[in-house]
Each structure stands twice: as structure tokens, then as C-alpha cells.
Amino acid sequence: MSESTSHNVLVVTYWSFNDALVQAYTLPYVREIKKLLPKGSTIDLVTLEPNHTEIENLRKLKDPDFNILAFPYSSFGVRTIFKLSKIIKQLKHRAIEKKVKTIHCWCTPGGAIGYLIHRKTGIRLVLDSFEPHAESMVENGTWTKGGLPFKLLFRLEKKQAQAAEHLIGLTSKMRDYSSSNYNVDPKHFYVKPACTDLHLFSKNKYPNIRHELGILPEDVVCVYAGKVGGIYLDD
């Protein structure tokens, strides 16, 4: 397969490879994308890891659908700028070397990295799971609206919305939010439906689990399927 017909993709996240948001939310889509790419195309997956041991372990991991590019994690903020600038420089060189044709980012912190690579290379930008992350961090009390982390990410969210060739939101209201808060009316906007793999979550797959947990047949069970800790549910 010639380089002209292959379509190499750089997928950017701001999460650890073992994070549920990568394992259960990002990778299923990455594998579907790989199936649709021309033969000979490659996908590089960017993750941010909590320690050097995780990075070393991931360097040994081989997957037929993607290559893992693991970097050290830092919480989004001022002190992270210098670390991210080094990561962005490395990814820019790799994108040019690999002749990447699409930068596909998950959520706006990852989108910030993707946008800066796009700005340096001109490679087309796709924003997946586009959401108002900066304002949500203020709403949950992690950031303040007058703080630099909020101002920085909010500005980059606007830049991402302006630069992206395609925006994929989780709700149609994100288009309205983009228009009213970023002054951007996306030309190519899509809504990604929330999906469940019924083979993995079939009620018949674990017939004894209710008995093992002491749950009576008439009991109604509510399941929280999100992350635990940090800004997510921890009680």
C-alpha cells in the first residue's frame, strides 16, 4: 500500500491507557476506525501516564490496531505548559515523519494538544466527545473562573472549535453551546450516541451474581458505570 493511499491517524487523549475512559470508551471506537482505514494505515494512540513504570510497561505492549505513545501525566495548568510543549514537539515531528493525515482528539484537554499540533502542521483536526470541560471544572469546584487553568483551557476550547474540520458532541446542545460561548457555528457537527455492548452486559452472562452479592430477585439495582475518585463519584 503506497503512502498516498494510506491514511495514518494520530489519536490524542489526556488519560492513562488503563483508565476506563480509554479502555471502555476510546478503544472500541479506535478499533472501529482502524477497520475503516485503507490497508496499510496506522493509528498512534497518545496516553498520559501517572508514573514511569506504566510508561515502560506500555512500551512493551503490542496491539494490532494501534501503537501506544505514552507520556508522563501532569494535571492541566500553568506548570504543565513546559512539559506539554516538549510532548507537542515530539508529536509534531512524529506526525510529519509518519505522514499523519488526521489528528483525532478525545475531549478538550486532549484536543488542546491536538490543536497545537494542528497549528504547527496543518494536519486536519477532528474533535471527539467535544464538551465544555473548562466550565465543568469550575462547576465542580476544581478550578475558579478567574484562574489561569480555566482561562487557558477555555481559550483553547474556542480555538479547537474554530480549527476543527469535524466536531463530534455527546449532545446536540453542544452545537448551541459552541455558538453562544465560542462564537463558532460548526459546519460539520455530529452527535455520538451513548452505546452499550449487550454481549458484555447481558443479564444472562452472570446468572449467579445477584445471589453472590445478596441481592434479592425483587430488588432494584442502580449501577454507576463511571469513574471513581477525583472530580467523579467517590461516595
Residue 95's CATH number: 3.40.50.2000
| Number of domains the chain contains | 1
Q: What is the pLDDT of residue 1?
A: 47
Q: Is the pTM for the entire model greater than 0.85?
A: yes
Burial class (CB in 10 A: 0-12, 13-18, 19+), 234: exposed
How far does CA 159 lie from the centroid of its chain? 17
Does residue 207 sit within a domain?
no
Query: Does residue 215 sit within a domain?
Result: no
The pLDDT of residue 222 is above 60: yes
Spell out the SS3 assignment of 79-119. Answer: CHHHHHHHHHHHHHHHHHHCCEEEEEEEHHHHHHHHHHHHH
Quickly state the pLDDT bin for 221 (edges 50, 70, 90).
confident
Residues 107 and 129: beta-carbon distance below 8 Å: yes
Determine the average pLDDT of the residues in 113-126.
98
C-alpha separations of 136 from 1, 90, 139, 178, 226 in Å: 44, 30, 5, 14, 16
The pLDDT of residue 78: 67
- Give the model confidence (pLDDT) of 27-71 as tens digits: 999 999 999 999 999 999 999 999 999 999 999 999 999 999 999
Domain assignment present for residue 235? The answer is no
Give the residue numbers spanning the domain of 131. Answer: 8-194
Q: Do residues 100 and 66 make contact, with C-beta atoms less than 8 angstroms apart?
A: no
Q: Which amino acid would we find at residue 175?
A: R
pLDDT in tens, 204-218: 777 788 888 899 989
Other CB atoms within a 10 A radius of the CB of residue 150 amount to 20
DSSP state of 198: T
**Separation of alpha carbons 45 and 53, rounded Å:** 18
Neighbours of 210 (CB within 10 A): 14
Evaluate whether residue 223 is within a structural domain. Answer: no
Mean pLDDT of the chain, nearest integer: 91
pLDDT reading at 184 higher than 50: yes
CA–CA separation, 100 and 11 (whole Å): 10
**Mean pLDDT, range 165-177, rounded to an integer:** 95
CB of 85 closer than 8 Å to CB of 62: no
pLDDT at 106: 98
